[in-house]
Amino acid sequence: MNKELTNEQIELIKNNEWIIFSTTDLDNNPRSIIVLVSRVEKNRIILCNIQMDKSFENLKQNPKCFINAYISSQNDIQIKLCCTAEIYNEGELYNEIKEYEETNNLPEDLKVRSIIVANIDNIEVSEG
């Protein structure tokens, strides 16, 4: 199982910005949302929960999630990540994001409620 993104894959995801983030509740009802990536690292993707109420509730029930990054400008590459999520409402990473908000004077409706760290369990890559 491949659990680490290559530097090229990291750059593709960063430059693409938008990803599809999917969760399920305990009854296997799926939920997908398009979100901006806050940070991409070799073995995890960090998202900010700003307006993901249903996805957040799903993660509290079931930490398994799926991330799909589709990059049409690069031969229709899809980077598909099976992940296990952790939610943070405090700590160094959370404080770093909150500091960014304050420094950039973000409006109240764009303020982070929590940080979702999606730890990569498996990576699949396909090209169109």
Q: Tell me, what CATH number does 98's domain have?
A: 2.30.110.10
d(CA 14, CA 101): 20
pLDDT of residue 70: 92
Show the domain range for 89.
7-126
In a domain, 1, yes or no: no
Q: Are 36 and 49 in contact (CB under 8 A)?
A: no
- The predicted model scores a pTM of 0.88
In a domain, 2, yes or no: no
pLDDT tens-place string over residues 85-98: 999 989 998 888 88
Domain tally, the chain: 1
pLDDT tens-place string over residues 32-75: 999 988 889 999 999 988 878 899 899 999 999 999 999 888 77
In a domain, 72, yes or no: yes
Compute the Cα dihedral for 92, 115, 23, 70 and give only its sign. negative
In a domain, 26, yes or no: yes
In a domain, 110, yes or no: yes
pLDDT of residue 40: 94
